[in-house]
Amino acid sequence: MSLTKNEIKFIKSLHLKKNRTEHQLFIVEGEKLVNELIVQDKFNIQNLYITPAYSTDDIPNNLNFTLINDKDLDRISAFKTPNKVLAIVKQPNQTDINYNEKNLILFLDDIKDPGNLGTIIRTADWFGITQIIASKNTVELFNPKVIQASMGAIYRINYFVKDLLEELTLFKQNNFSIMGAVIDGEDIYNTSMPEKNVLIMGSESHGLSKELLAEITHKVSIPKFGKTESLNVAIATGVLLSEYKKDKFTPQKL
Protein backbone atom coordinates (compact mmCIF):
# COMPACT_ATOMS: atom_id res chain seq x y z
CA MET A 1 0.00 0.00 0.00
CA SER A 2 1.22 3.50 -0.87
CA LEU A 3 0.69 6.47 1.41
CA THR A 4 -1.24 9.47 0.10
CA LYS A 5 0.47 12.81 -0.32
CA ASN A 6 -1.48 14.18 2.64
CA GLU A 7 -0.41 11.29 4.88
CA ILE A 8 3.21 11.78 3.90
CA LYS A 9 2.95 15.53 4.47
CA PHE A 10 1.42 15.10 7.92
CA ILE A 11 3.95 12.52 9.13
CA LYS A 12 6.85 14.60 7.85
CA SER A 13 5.41 17.65 9.63
CA LEU A 14 6.02 15.84 12.94
CA HIS A 15 9.75 16.16 12.32
CA LEU A 16 9.31 19.75 13.55
CA LYS A 17 8.86 20.59 17.23
CA LYS A 18 6.02 23.08 16.68
CA ASN A 19 3.92 20.43 14.94
CA ARG A 20 4.69 17.78 17.53
CA THR A 21 3.54 20.23 20.20
CA GLU A 22 0.41 21.23 18.29
CA HIS A 23 -0.74 17.67 17.66
CA GLN A 24 0.74 16.18 20.85
CA LEU A 25 2.35 13.44 18.79
CA PHE A 26 5.90 12.27 18.09
CA ILE A 27 7.73 9.72 15.96
CA VAL A 28 9.63 6.59 16.98
CA GLU A 29 11.69 4.85 14.31
CA GLY A 30 13.50 1.56 13.99
CA GLU A 31 12.80 -2.05 14.82
CA LYS A 32 14.39 -2.13 18.30
CA LEU A 33 12.77 1.05 19.63
CA VAL A 34 9.36 0.18 18.20
CA ASN A 35 9.52 -3.36 19.59
CA GLU A 36 10.15 -1.91 23.06
CA LEU A 37 7.40 0.65 22.49
CA ILE A 38 4.84 -2.05 21.72
CA VAL A 39 5.32 -3.83 25.06
CA GLN A 40 5.43 -0.76 27.35
CA ASP A 41 2.30 0.83 28.85
CA LYS A 42 3.25 4.50 29.26
CA PHE A 43 2.86 5.72 25.68
CA ASN A 44 -0.11 5.12 23.39
CA ILE A 45 0.66 4.25 19.78
CA GLN A 46 -1.61 5.96 17.25
CA ASN A 47 -0.38 4.00 14.24
CA LEU A 48 2.48 1.86 12.96
CA TYR A 49 3.83 2.11 9.42
CA ILE A 50 5.57 -1.15 8.61
CA THR A 51 7.40 -2.55 5.61
CA PRO A 52 7.17 -6.22 4.57
CA ALA A 53 10.53 -6.83 6.29
CA TYR A 54 9.00 -6.08 9.71
CA SER A 55 7.37 -9.02 11.46
CA THR A 56 3.75 -8.55 12.49
CA ASP A 57 3.79 -11.54 14.86
CA ASP A 58 4.18 -9.46 18.02
CA ILE A 59 1.81 -6.61 17.11
CA PRO A 60 -1.23 -6.72 19.45
CA ASN A 61 -4.61 -7.16 17.78
CA ASN A 62 -5.85 -3.78 19.04
CA LEU A 63 -2.95 -1.86 17.50
CA ASN A 64 -3.42 -0.10 14.15
CA PHE A 65 -0.78 -0.63 11.50
CA THR A 66 -0.37 0.25 7.85
CA LEU A 67 1.72 -1.79 5.45
CA ILE A 68 3.88 0.46 3.27
CA ASN A 69 6.74 0.00 0.85
CA ASP A 70 10.38 0.91 1.45
CA LYS A 71 10.09 3.99 -0.73
CA ASP A 72 7.31 5.47 1.39
CA LEU A 73 9.21 4.69 4.60
CA ASP A 74 12.14 6.58 3.16
CA ARG A 75 9.86 9.53 2.43
CA ILE A 76 8.47 9.81 5.97
CA SER A 77 11.64 8.95 7.88
CA ALA A 78 13.92 11.53 9.50
CA PHE A 79 16.94 9.28 8.96
CA LYS A 80 19.15 8.52 6.00
CA THR A 81 18.79 4.78 6.48
CA PRO A 82 15.25 3.95 7.70
CA ASN A 83 14.78 0.65 9.53
CA LYS A 84 11.60 -1.34 8.69
CA VAL A 85 9.08 0.51 10.86
CA LEU A 86 7.91 3.93 12.04
CA ALA A 87 5.42 4.67 14.83
CA ILE A 88 3.27 7.72 15.48
CA VAL A 89 2.89 8.03 19.25
CA LYS A 90 0.78 10.22 21.52
CA GLN A 91 2.62 12.39 23.99
CA PRO A 92 1.66 11.28 27.52
CA ASN A 93 -0.13 13.38 30.09
CA GLN A 94 2.16 14.85 32.73
CA THR A 95 2.29 12.82 35.93
CA ASP A 96 2.98 14.18 39.42
CA ILE A 97 6.49 14.53 40.78
CA ASN A 98 7.27 12.29 43.76
CA TYR A 99 8.86 14.56 46.38
CA ASN A 100 9.25 11.72 48.87
CA GLU A 101 11.31 9.33 46.80
CA LYS A 102 14.46 8.11 48.55
CA ASN A 103 16.65 8.33 45.50
CA LEU A 104 18.68 10.80 43.50
CA ILE A 105 16.60 13.23 41.43
CA LEU A 106 18.36 14.49 38.31
CA PHE A 107 17.95 18.16 37.31
CA LEU A 108 19.06 19.29 33.84
CA ASP A 109 19.79 22.97 33.31
CA ASP A 110 19.52 23.99 29.64
CA ILE A 111 21.00 20.89 28.00
CA LYS A 112 20.98 21.81 24.30
CA ASP A 113 22.39 18.83 22.44
CA PRO A 114 19.77 16.14 21.71
CA GLY A 115 22.37 13.38 21.65
CA ASN A 116 23.55 14.39 25.11
CA LEU A 117 20.02 14.49 26.50
CA GLY A 118 19.16 11.07 25.11
CA THR A 119 22.38 9.59 26.47
CA ILE A 120 21.74 11.15 29.89
CA ILE A 121 18.25 9.60 29.98
CA ARG A 122 19.65 6.22 28.96
CA THR A 123 22.39 6.46 31.60
CA ALA A 124 19.95 7.54 34.30
CA ASP A 125 17.77 4.53 33.52
CA TRP A 126 20.81 2.25 33.80
CA PHE A 127 21.50 3.54 37.32
CA GLY A 128 17.91 3.25 38.46
CA ILE A 129 17.06 6.96 38.43
CA THR A 130 13.31 7.33 37.94
CA GLN A 131 12.76 11.11 37.82
CA ILE A 132 14.43 13.74 35.64
CA ILE A 133 13.41 17.39 35.83
CA ALA A 134 14.56 19.59 32.95
CA SER A 135 14.53 23.34 32.48
CA LYS A 136 12.20 24.86 29.92
CA ASN A 137 15.18 25.70 27.69
CA THR A 138 16.45 22.13 27.56
CA VAL A 139 16.10 20.44 24.18
CA GLU A 140 12.70 18.81 23.66
CA LEU A 141 12.28 15.24 24.90
CA PHE A 142 10.49 14.18 21.70
CA ASN A 143 13.23 15.35 19.34
CA PRO A 144 13.99 12.29 17.14
CA LYS A 145 17.70 12.41 18.03
CA VAL A 146 16.85 12.40 21.76
CA ILE A 147 14.61 9.36 21.29
CA GLN A 148 17.24 7.47 19.31
CA ALA A 149 20.03 8.25 21.79
CA SER A 150 17.86 7.21 24.74
CA MET A 151 17.56 3.69 23.27
CA GLY A 152 14.09 3.21 24.78
CA ALA A 153 14.87 4.68 28.21
CA ILE A 154 12.26 7.42 27.69
CA TYR A 155 9.63 4.69 28.10
CA ARG A 156 10.74 4.14 31.70
CA ILE A 157 11.95 7.51 33.04
CA ASN A 158 9.47 10.02 34.50
CA TYR A 159 10.50 13.22 32.73
CA PHE A 160 9.26 16.69 33.68
CA VAL A 161 9.79 20.16 32.22
CA LYS A 162 9.60 22.69 35.03
CA ASP A 163 10.93 25.91 36.53
CA LEU A 164 14.02 24.51 38.27
CA LEU A 165 14.19 27.18 40.97
CA GLU A 166 10.61 26.54 42.01
CA GLU A 167 11.22 22.80 42.09
CA LEU A 168 14.38 23.18 44.19
CA THR A 169 12.33 25.00 46.83
CA LEU A 170 9.90 22.10 46.98
CA PHE A 171 12.63 19.47 47.18
CA LYS A 172 14.39 21.39 49.95
CA GLN A 173 11.12 21.43 51.88
CA ASN A 174 11.15 17.65 51.58
CA ASN A 175 14.67 17.39 53.04
CA PHE A 176 16.62 16.84 49.85
CA SER A 177 20.22 17.96 49.65
CA ILE A 178 21.04 19.99 46.53
CA MET A 179 24.22 18.95 44.75
CA GLY A 180 25.58 20.74 41.71
CA ALA A 181 28.32 19.68 39.31
CA VAL A 182 30.88 22.50 38.97
CA ILE A 183 34.54 22.82 37.99
CA ASP A 184 35.81 23.84 41.45
CA GLY A 185 33.65 21.59 43.64
CA GLU A 186 34.59 18.93 46.16
CA ASP A 187 36.19 15.78 44.76
CA ILE A 188 33.27 13.43 44.09
CA TYR A 189 35.42 10.42 45.02
CA ASN A 190 35.75 11.80 48.55
CA THR A 191 32.15 12.94 48.94
CA SER A 192 29.39 11.07 50.74
CA MET A 193 26.07 11.64 48.99
CA PRO A 194 22.82 11.82 50.98
CA GLU A 195 20.16 9.27 50.04
CA LYS A 196 17.64 11.99 49.19
CA ASN A 197 19.63 14.09 46.81
CA VAL A 198 19.10 16.42 43.86
CA LEU A 199 21.95 16.47 41.35
CA ILE A 200 22.00 19.42 38.94
CA MET A 201 23.88 19.16 35.65
CA GLY A 202 24.49 22.33 33.67
CA SER A 203 24.57 23.16 29.99
CA GLU A 204 27.41 21.92 27.80
CA SER A 205 28.81 25.40 27.16
CA HIS A 206 27.89 27.56 30.18
CA GLY A 207 27.52 25.21 33.14
CA LEU A 208 25.00 26.03 35.85
CA SER A 209 23.19 29.36 35.94
CA LYS A 210 24.02 31.83 38.74
CA GLU A 211 20.51 31.45 40.16
CA LEU A 212 20.90 27.69 40.53
CA LEU A 213 24.43 27.98 41.91
CA ALA A 214 23.04 30.09 44.73
CA GLU A 215 20.70 27.23 45.74
CA ILE A 216 23.32 24.48 45.85
CA THR A 217 24.22 23.01 49.24
CA HIS A 218 27.05 20.78 47.94
CA LYS A 219 29.31 21.61 44.99
CA VAL A 220 31.02 18.57 43.49
CA SER A 221 33.40 17.93 40.64
CA ILE A 222 35.14 15.04 38.92
CA PRO A 223 38.93 15.30 39.39
CA LYS A 224 41.05 15.56 36.24
CA PHE A 225 44.07 13.31 35.78
CA GLY A 226 44.88 14.09 32.16
CA LYS A 227 45.01 17.20 29.99
CA THR A 228 41.55 17.28 28.40
CA GLU A 229 39.86 20.59 29.18
CA SER A 230 36.39 19.29 30.02
CA LEU A 231 34.06 16.29 30.08
CA ASN A 232 30.99 15.81 27.92
CA VAL A 233 27.92 16.46 30.12
CA ALA A 234 26.47 13.01 29.44
CA ILE A 235 29.75 11.32 30.42
CA ALA A 236 30.03 13.48 33.53
CA THR A 237 26.48 12.57 34.52
CA GLY A 238 27.33 8.89 34.21
CA VAL A 239 30.37 9.23 36.46
CA LEU A 240 28.41 11.08 39.14
CA LEU A 241 25.48 8.67 39.06
CA SER A 242 27.90 5.76 39.35
CA GLU A 243 29.45 7.31 42.45
CA TYR A 244 26.02 7.91 43.96
CA LYS A 245 25.04 4.28 43.50
CA LYS A 246 28.43 3.06 44.74
CA ASP A 247 27.94 5.13 47.90
CA LYS A 248 24.47 3.67 48.49
CA PHE A 249 24.88 0.10 47.29
CA THR A 250 25.86 -2.68 49.70
CA PRO A 251 26.96 -5.78 47.78
CA GLN A 252 25.23 -9.02 48.69
CA LYS A 253 27.53 -11.72 50.09
CA LEU A 254 27.67 -14.90 48.02
Tens-place pLDDT, residues 45-90? 999 999 999 988 888 888 989 999 999 999 999 988 888 999 999 9
How does residue 192 score in pLDDT terms, banded at 50, 70 and 90?
A: confident
Which DSSP string do the residues of 164-198 spell out, in sequence order? Answer: HHHHHHHHHHTT-EEEEEEEEEEEGGG-PPPSSEE
Encode pLDDT of 111-145 as tens digits: 999 999 999 999 999 999 999 999 999 999 999 99
Radius of gyration of the chain (CA): 20
Q: What is the pLDDT of residues 193-207, one digit of tens each?
A: 888 999 999 987 788
Query: Quick check: 155 pLDDT over 50?
Result: yes
pLDDT > 70: what percent of the chain?
96
The domain spans of the chain are 5-90, 104-248
CATH 3.30.1330.30 fits domain 5-90: yes
CATH homologous superfamily, domain 104-248: SPOUT methyltransferase, trefoil knot domain (3.40.1280.10)
**Does an H or E element contain 31, and which?**
helix 31-39
Q: Is the pTM of this model over 0.85?
A: yes
Amino acid occupying residue 160: F
